[in-house]
């Protein structure tokens, strides 16, 4: 069988759909459970609906970034496997890096004629094992983290614990951002600065508009991307 026909075969579509369906079912179960829990603890419908709207809008920006990598992965490992991997993980750059490493171990190069069934098999195993560490860590430590937070609230001022959590989140995003900026082109700096300015304007000038605050992150990300593209095109 031709390699391209193999990696896009109906059998792989069926096999890949199992993971995608499981992911969708899991998302629906969590969604229904969260709505039930919100009702039981007395959260108003207006508040959790606002959270849902905010999450939907915020997810649009990050969904654009893997598109180019998705097209590259389709050419290398086929549409079914790409569909499965990006529905499961979403870290497109990590997937490509793992594929490249696995192909090298098989004596092949990504996107070359040497990338055949053996390299494809190596890549499937490498991508699967790449996830294993995250699953094990979550399984062993996740349930303990909530207990740690409870103990911190008991021994420390809950207000300071909340600030600590917020600071940790801010530090995480700052770290992820600097990895994309340090030593990179001015285009990436422009996108980050423009997104930050838009976010600052939305959170200050429209502080009393709750609906805008809900959408601020998504709007700032999209605004930064589109304005940067406009600057690139204007510059020729």
Residue 93's pLDDT is: 62
- H-type helices in the chain, by residue range? 3-7, 10-40, 45-64, 67-77, 79-88, 92-105, 117-155, 158-181, 186-205, 210-234
Q: Tell me the pLDDT of the chain (236 aa) as tens digits.
A: 688 899 999 999 999 999 889 989 998 999 899 888 888 888 888 888 888 887 787 777 666 666 766 777 888 899 999 888 888 655 566 787 788 888 888 888 887 888 899 999 999 998 888 878 777 877 887 777 777 777 877 888 878 878 888 888 788 778 877 877 887 778 888 888 888 898 888 888 777 776 666 667 767 878 888 888 888 888 75
DSSP string, 21-37: HHHHHHHHHHHHHHHHH
- pLDDT at residue number 41: 83
């Amino acid at each position: 069988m031709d390699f391209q026909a193999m990696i896009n075969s109906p059998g792989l579509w069926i096999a890949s759909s199992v993971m995608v369906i499981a992911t969708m079912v899991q998302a629906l179960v969590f969604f229904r459970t969260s709505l039930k829990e919100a009702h039981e603890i007395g959260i108003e419908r207006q508040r959790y609906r606002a959270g849902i709207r905010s999450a939907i809008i915020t997810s649009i920006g990050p969904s654009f970034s893997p598109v180019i990598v998705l097209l590259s992965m389709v050419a290398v490992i086929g549409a079914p496997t790409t569909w499965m991997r990006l529905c499961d993980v979403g870290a497109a750059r990590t997937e490509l890096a793992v594929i490249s490493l696995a192909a090298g171990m098989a004596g092949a190069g990504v996107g070359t004629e040497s990338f055949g069934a053996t390299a494809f098999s190596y890549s499937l195993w490498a991508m699967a094992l790449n996830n294993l560490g995250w699953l094990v860590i979550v399984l062993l430590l996740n349930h303990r983290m909530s207990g740690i937070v409870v103990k911190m609230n008991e021994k420390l001022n809950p207000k300071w614990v909340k600030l600590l959590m917020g600071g940790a989140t801010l530090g995480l995003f700052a770290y992820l951002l600097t990895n994309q900026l340090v030593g990179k082109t001015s285009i990436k700096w422009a996108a980050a600065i423009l997104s930050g300015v838009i976010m600052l304007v939305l959170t200050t000038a429209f502080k009393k508009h709750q609906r805008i605050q809900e959408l601020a992150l998504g709007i700032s990300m999209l605004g930064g991307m589109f304005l940067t593209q406009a600057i690139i095109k204007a510059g020729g």
